Structure 1
Amino acid sequence: MRVLHIVTGLASGGAERQLLLTVRNLPAHQHCEVVALTNPGTVAAALRAEGVTVHDLAMRGNRDLGALPRLVRLIRAGGFDLVHTHLYRAGLYGRLAARLAGVRAVVATEHSLHPGVIEGRPVTAGVKGLYLAAERLGRSTVAVSRQVERTLHDWGVPPGRVELIPNGIDAARYSWPPARRAGIRDRVRAELGLPQDGWVIGAVGRLVPGKRFDVLLDALRELDGPAGTRPWLVVIGDGPERAALERRAERLGVRARLVLTGERDDVPELLTALDVLAAPSTEETFGLGVLEGLAAGLPVRYSACPALEELPADAAPGARRVPSDARSYAAALSDLYGWRGGGPAAQPPAVARYDIARAAACLGALYDRLVPARR
């Protein structure tokens, strides 16, 4: 079976990294290629390094209608059996292009949908109308959490057209023997300019307003202490809010203790440098960063994580929910300040529940149902 994944871009965000893991773990008989409508970033490089063909459509913007015939030609030339789209723009153009190219098996994964927000943007009547029109061109929409599934149903997408397949993480990538982990931790801290014996708060995600990393900067100021013992903050990711976060850190007097790593494809290694992971976003549809922190053995303080809300409380004993404001995070982090806990904790049951192998197997089974084997 030949599968084409179409994604809006391939910078290192949650949906993009999820696509990388999915392609890596799908059944062997499902051969994948990937199209980025725009911005082929570090995830494109990682896919190519693994031998996956990545096409750059070089789309110039949402209204670059010339991208549609280019995409139709690419689908026809590739002889694809199934097209799978990811993110809003790719869902609009990709589903239409697939149908024009004669592909009937069309799937979309909805990575970031809330009742009034899609991918961090308000849902207007026009946005919702376009979304529902495009949805009817496909065969199935994959919801990455029950929260997304409920929103799709509320929007009027029939239950029979929605498939619940939660996101997954490569749990083994976050776990090392103690000596190797210590070596990675020392190397990463040296690279980032962190004190080897410092206490480091970390966060993972695109630098966009919805992630609310400004809350952590405000909390960092409240956690100020004697010189040499002050906590640091490392934010793993990049995005349009970088300059604003740097300016805020300067105003608060904490810029010297803030590290913005930029876009990286070695998140498991970077997490070894942290002592706690904080996630103040209130607009998560899954909570991938929270799961990554738990897989790395870190205590986690978070404000929204639908993935955990669907599980019993004892599935993630190292995670605590915190209101998304500076005072609450300062108090929650202060309780952990200086805590080392004798090394990383064991991966909790929640991590095994969301292992990528399970998610990829479910998705592969969906592909097989939509594209029966040729006799």
Structure 2
Amino acid sequence: MTRVLQVITGLGRGGAERQLAGLVRRLPVECEVVSLTGGGPVADEIRALGVPVHELGMRGNRDLTALPRLVRLMRSRRFDAVHTHLYRACVYGRVAARLAGVRRIIATEHSLGAGEIEGRRATTGVRLIYRSTERLGAVTVAVSPTVADRLREWGVRDVVVIPNGIDATAFAFDPGRRAALRAELGVPPREPVYGCAGRLVPGKRVDVLIRAFAGLPGGRLLIVGDGPERRALERLAWRLGVGPRVVFRGETGDVAGALAAMDVYATPSRQETFGLGVVEAMAAGLPVVYTTCPALDDLPARLAPHARRVPADPAAFREALARFPVPDAVRLPVPAAVATYDIGEHARALAHLYTGVFTGPSTGPAPAEGGSTPWPTTGELPEVSSGAAVSPRR
């Protein structure tokens, strides 16, 4: 069986980390995982699946002692492929894999924004290092066409679009979980709960949501996640007079339970590479108000009829939220957009890359501006389901 080492910067409760945990459950290959920095709740989840997790304890971006340790691990375990996730892991992982003689080097770009990467400014030095190490790999996986376009702007040559995936059944609405969490929070059954989930960083614009909520006559705002902006957001809620009605839940391993307690999902994030939280909310049967979500913006609107796009402005969000009726705990039908992002399809597409069928350079016409050509069926790449696309080497 094909043996793959998954290399990731850390294993906290982030979107990329949760994607990795979902993938190792379903990939038809033998996986091991290495976290450059250390453990975390997602590391425990992965170990519970019987998948080995190695922790390097890297102290920072310039801790070069991690490189020889990573090379030794790759050589000793004789992996057929290395798959890297997140900036630091992509840089160190691709270099180590080349030094270790690993034949297949794949990278996934989860968090490339316009002018930033993983919430930090993409300086000239960051871009130079990224492009230099990218040339050591076979292909870079973009989680959306939006990210693929940004990678091409950076000069990345081989880009495969394989969207993020979710297990929709894991987020199916459970009235028992709704009742339990609402009771824990002291929320009456028919009190509206607006909510969001994600890392509390400036780019998520949770302050816009709090300001919008402050203008509503009642209800609760449930904020799931943690991050450097939490204290400032808590102070803002109290300053606006809605402190008692804004619940900061913190990080949780039960996102599905939190979604069950909500009635509307709202996210004014100014930049997203995919918008995983929005797709999960739709899988839970929630209406969605959002500003940026490539997962929806790259699809026909008819596939997500209960999603409303509005500017990241408190007045616009307040008006959109006020339109929803008092909840009765009856969920909306799960829209067709959710089925587009099945994690099983994601895993199957990645497995094709691991087996080395793609040998590049690929042939065929250049992609239309803003788009991608279909996966070639000439033998260079396997034919896969819709949702995966590749741009040729230029």
How does the TM-score come out when normalised to structure 1? 0.92
How many angstroms apart in 2 are the aligned matches of 1:330 and 1:356? 33
The Cα shift of 1:26 comes to 1.0
**Residues 172/360 of structure 1: CA separation in 2 closer, same or farther (3 Å cut):** same
Residue 190 in structure 1 maps to residue 183 in structure 2? yes
Which residue pairs with 1:152 in the alignment? 151
Q: Report the equivalent of 1:3.
A: 4
Structure 1 residue 197, shift from structure 2 partner: 2.8
State how far apart, in whole Å, the 2-side matches of 1:49 and 1:239 are. 26
**Distance in 2 of aligned mates of 1:137 and 1:31:** 23
State the distance in 1 between where 2:62 and 2:91 align: 11
The sequence identity of aligned pairs, in percent, is 56
Q: Distance in 1 between matches of 2:333 and 2:345?
A: 20
The 3 A distance-change label for structure 1 pair 325 and 361 is same
**Whole-angstrom distance in 2 between the partners of 1:39 and 1:196:** 41
SS at match of 2:250: coil
Note the C-alpha offset of 1:187.
Answer: 0.8
Tell me the equivalent position of 1:13: 14
1:196 Cα deviation after fit: 3.0
- Equivalent residue letter for 1:16: E
What's 1:330 paired with? Answer: 318
Query: 1:221 pairs with 214, 234, 245, which one?
Result: 214
Other structure's SS at 2:356 match: helix
Report what 1:345 is aligned to.
332
Aligned counterpart, 2:264: 276
Q: Which has the higher helix share?
A: 1
Q: How does 1:22-33 map to 2 (within 5 A)?
A: 22-27=23-28, 30-33=29-32
Give the whole-Å Cα distance in 1 for the aligned partners of 2:235 and 2:62: 33
1:123, 1:15 → 2: CA distance? 19
Determine the C-alpha separation between the residues in 2 that align with 1:86 and 1:193.
39
CA distance in 2, matches of 1:97, 1:87: 15
Q: CA deviation at 1:73?
A: 1.4
- The answer to whether 1:166 aligns with 2:163 is yes
Structure 2's unaligned 5+ residue stretches are 360-394
Match of 2:386 in 1: none
Matched letter for residue 172 of structure 1: T
**Cα distance in 1 between the residues matched to 2:110 and 2:37:** 18
Q: Which amino acid aligns with 1:350?
A: A
- Tell me, in whole angstroms, the C-alpha distance in 2 between the residues paired with 1:210 and 1:189: 29
Q: 1:82 maps to what in 2?
A: 81
Q: Kindly provide the CA deviation profile for residues 315-348 of structure 1, in whole angstroms up to 9, marking residues without a partner as x.
A: 00010001001111111101115244x6111111
Matched letter for residue 256 of structure 2: P
Residues of 2 paired with 1:54 and 1:370: CA distance?
27
What is the CA-CA distance between 1:240 and the residue it aligns to? 1.5
Is 2:259 aligned against 1:260?
no
User: Hey, what does 1:201 align to over in structure 2?
Assistant: 194
Counterpart Cα distance in 1 of 2:312 and 2:88: 30
Distance (whole Å) between structure 2 residues aligned to residue 198 and residue 330 of structure 1: 17
Q: 1:343 corresponds to which letter in structure 2? A: V
**Cα distance in 2, alignment partners of residues 72 and 253 from structure 1:** 55
- Partner deviation per Cα, 1:222-263 (whole Å, 9 max, x = no partner): 11x2xxxx2111111111211121121121121211222222
Equivalent position of 1:116 in the other structure: 115
**What are structure 1's unaligned runs of at least 5 residues?**
none
Residue 94 of structure 1 is matched in structure 2 by: 93
Match of 2:284 among 271, 296, 311: 296
Q: Tell me whether 138-147 or 237-246 shows the greater mean CA deviation.
A: 237-246
Counterpart of 1:167, as a letter, is N
Asked whether the 8 Å contact 1:105–1:370 carries over to 2, the reply is: no
The CA deviation string for residues 257-313 of structure 1, in whole angstroms up to 9 with x for no partner, is: 122222212111221000000011010011111101100000000001111111111
RMSD across aligned positions (CA): 1.5
What CA deviation, in whole Å up to 9, does each residue of 1:69-113 have, x standing for no partner? Answer: 111111122221111100001111111111111112111000111
Q: Are the equivalent residues in 2 in contact too, given 1:140–1:163 (CA < 8 A)?
A: yes
What is the match of residue 205 of structure 2?
A: 212
User: Secondary structure in 1 aligned to 2:112?
Assistant: coil
State the TM-score, normalizing by the size of structure 2.
Answer: 0.88
